[in-house]
Amino acid sequence: MPIPQTFEALRTHQSAEGQVQSRLETLRLDDLSAGEVVVRTRYAGVNYKDCLSLHGRAKIIASYPRVAGIELVGEVLASSVPTFEPGQDVLVHGFQTGIAFDGGFSACVRVPAAHVQAVPPGLTPHEAAVIGVPGFTAAMALERFIELGIAPDAGSVAMSGAGGAVGLLGTAILARAGYRVAAITRRMAQEERLRAIGAHEVIDAAVLDAPQRPLEKPRFAAAIDNVGGPMLSWLLRSMADGGAVASVGNAAGNTYEGSVLPFIMRRAQLFGIVANAPVAQRRRLWTKLATEWKPDMAAVLPHVQHIPLGALMEHSARQLEGATSGRVLVDFER
């Protein structure tokens, strides 16, 4: 397929007064940041970070104008390096994509070759897009749990924010790897769906509204926290001896209250996850996500929403208000 002379993109600008505005524009290839590989975008995942960027709600984008979108899956149209060839299915995430380099909210992107990875055997382009950054984030946490010696028989793994994309994919991936998942959500109407994707237990996040103790009942061997704030504090206090908490998100805020008791009384560990992993780890984890950790796509796909690029601004505003759930893809195949 030839490189289109023009294509549609959602581009974000900042005025001299600092006001951020995102709007649909018709671009040419030379309007994009530099790169050796030209990709026709098939799907771009919509993440909370992207929504903040589009609406100027946080200082994420490094320079303007910028096409946001921290991840994409697409087809190579042209490449000046032998590593990639036209027609190849590839994925891109991390490496400041959508931040310092133009990202996925464009029908065509130009990407540095070092930022591009082939879609691994075992995954279709659509499946790779569904897993995307949320699933890769969960895989990074899971690998760390395994390194710490937390095996499936160690006990339940808590997954907070279970109704969102990270929670959805994290639950499915942990279950596929053999772990018992305790999905935590304020939307208990979603209990049946969470059990369908692999949750062994569904916990009402209203537990945070009850009186809090210095240490809670030790009920989890590990946890992936996508919420922050009081949830992160409660999870730390609820770890079993030697438990570990992976902090991957901050939907409830950047701070949390806590004490040293979980660390000195139960040897709890807290670590952070940033999905911008080294190349070797990317290849290793994507191979696992295509094989032994591949989520049950039949169970996950009913909770994946596809939207056109023109609907992204409205959707992202709703996502910032917590009015959406599941995984959302901008679908350029429509």
pLDDT in tens, 112-154: 999 999 999 999 999 999 999 999 999 999 999 999 999 999 9
Domain boundary among 272, 289, 321: 272
Please determine, for residue 94, whether its predicted confidence score (pLDDT) is greater than 80: yes
The reported pLDDT for the residue numbered 297 is 96
Q: Which tens digits make up the pLDDT trace of 161-178?
A: 999 999 999 999 999 999
Query: Would 283 be classed as within a structural domain?
Result: no
Q: Are residues 205 and 115 in the same domain?
A: no
Query: Would 324 be classed as within a structural domain?
Result: yes
The reported pLDDT for the residue numbered 251 is 78
Cα–Cα distance for residue pair 218/213, rounded to 1 Å: 12
Which is higher by pLDDT, 160 or 2?
160
Query: Would 124 be classed as within a structural domain?
Result: no
Across 21-25, 71-75, 247-251, least confident range: 247-251
Domain boundary among 272, 287, 308: 272
Q: Are residues 21 and 112 in the same domain?
A: yes
What are the φ/ψ torsions at residue 126 (nearest 5 degrees)? Answer: -65, -45
Confidence of residue 232 (pLDDT cuts 50, 70, 90): very high
Nearest to 47 by CA among 35, 34, 58, 39: 58
Q: Which tens digits make up the pLDDT trace of 9-43?
A: 999 999 999 999 999 999 999 999 999 999 999 99
Mean pLDDT of 265-288: 95
Q: Which tens digits make up the pLDDT trace of 186-228?
A: 989 889 999 999 999 999 999 999 888 999 999 999 999 999 9
Please tell me the total count of domains within the chain: 2
Mean pLDDT of 230-254: 93
Q: Are residues 148 and 216 in the same domain?
A: yes
Amino acid at 117: Q
Please determine, for residue 156, whether its predicted confidence score (pLDDT) is greater than 90: yes
Distance of CA 131 to the CA centre of its chain: 8
Q: Are residues 152 and 49 in the same domain?
A: no
The reported pLDDT for the residue numbered 253 is 80
Q: Are residues 104 and 146 in the same domain?
A: no
DSSP secondary structure of 64-117: SSEE--SEEEEEEEEESSTT--TT-EEEEE-TTBTTTB--SSBSEEEE-GGGEE
CATH number for the domain harbouring residue 157: 3.40.50.720
Mean pLDDT of 83-96: 97
* Residues 132/45, Cβ–Cβ less than 8 Å: yes
Q: Are residues 70 and 190 in the same domain?
A: no
Query: Would 150 be classed as within a structural domain?
Result: yes
User: Would you report the helix, strand and coil content of the chain in percent, each value rounded to 5?
Assistant: 35, 30, 40
The mean predicted confidence, pLDDT, of the chain is 96
Full residue range of the structural domain in which residue 246 is found: 132-272
Q: Are residues 194 and 64 in the same domain?
A: no
Query: Would 258 be classed as within a structural domain?
Result: yes
Tokens of residue 270, six digits: 């807290």
In the chain, the percentage of residues whose pLDDT exceeds 90 is 91
Please determine, for residue 334, whether its predicted confidence score (pLDDT) is greater than 80: no
Q: Are residues 145 and 215 in the same domain?
A: yes
| β-bridge partners, 159 | 183, 224
* Residues 168/197, Cβ–Cβ less than 8 Å: yes
The reported pLDDT for the residue numbered 322 is 85
Amino acid at 99: I
Please determine, for residue 275, whether its predicted confidence score (pLDDT) is greater than 90: no
Q: Which tens digits make up the pLDDT trace of 105-116?
A: 999 999 999 999
Q: Are residues 227 and 262 in the same domain?
A: yes
Q: Are residues 40 and 107 in the same domain?
A: yes
Query: Would 285 be classed as within a structural domain?
Result: no
Query: Would 294 be classed as within a structural domain?
Result: no
**Alpha-carbon separation of residue 222 from 10, 210, 213, 218, 249 (angstroms):** 39, 22, 19, 11, 16
CATH number for the domain harbouring residue 33: 3.90.180.10
